Amino acid sequence: MHLSHILLFVFAAAASLVRVNDKNFKDVVLDSGRFTLVDFYADWCRHCMKLMPTIEELAELYENVPEIQIVKINGDEDGRKMTRKYKVPGFPTLLMFHGDDEPVEFDGMRDLDAISNFVQQVSGYVYKRKRSKLMKNFLVDHPRF
């Protein structure tokens, strides 16, 4: 695979993850009318860096769902006010916002399925993954599954 293809893939995956800060948090998160999962992170936090690919994948998964958005805020730089306001205990912290409602904190396993299930549970949205052609053919041939 060429470097240009890798860079294009990384850019495309990151494009669906919105970065917010103290100045635009209200507009992008609270006033959006959407359920918004906010990843409070810090650049120096190794757990945050480990979680970031999962958050990027989650953002890509929900990028075409108008009711849901996934954003990140650097709680140690331009997101300090929001970090204090919402009493973020440490990094990374995932909070689900919807308007002026009290945010709901995620405290499960830090994997794609667990976080996606949390997003669906809080928002009421049910994400249906498309089945591959191979899986559809398998299910036709093996109806017990």
Domain ranges of the chain: 3-141
Per the CB < 8 A criterion, the answer to whether 119 and 58 are in contact is: yes
| CA distances from residue 8 to 2, 60, 64 in whole angstroms, order as listed | 10, 14, 19
Report the pLDDT averaged over residues 17-24: 98
pTM: 0.79
Q: What is the pLDDT of residue 138?
A: 54
Domain 3-141 has CATH 3.30.2130.10: no
Over the chain, what is the mean pLDDT?
Answer: 87
pLDDT tens per residue, range 32-57: 999 999 999 999 999 999 999 999 99
Q: What is the pLDDT of residue 143?
A: 58
Report the pLDDT averaged over residues 98-120: 97
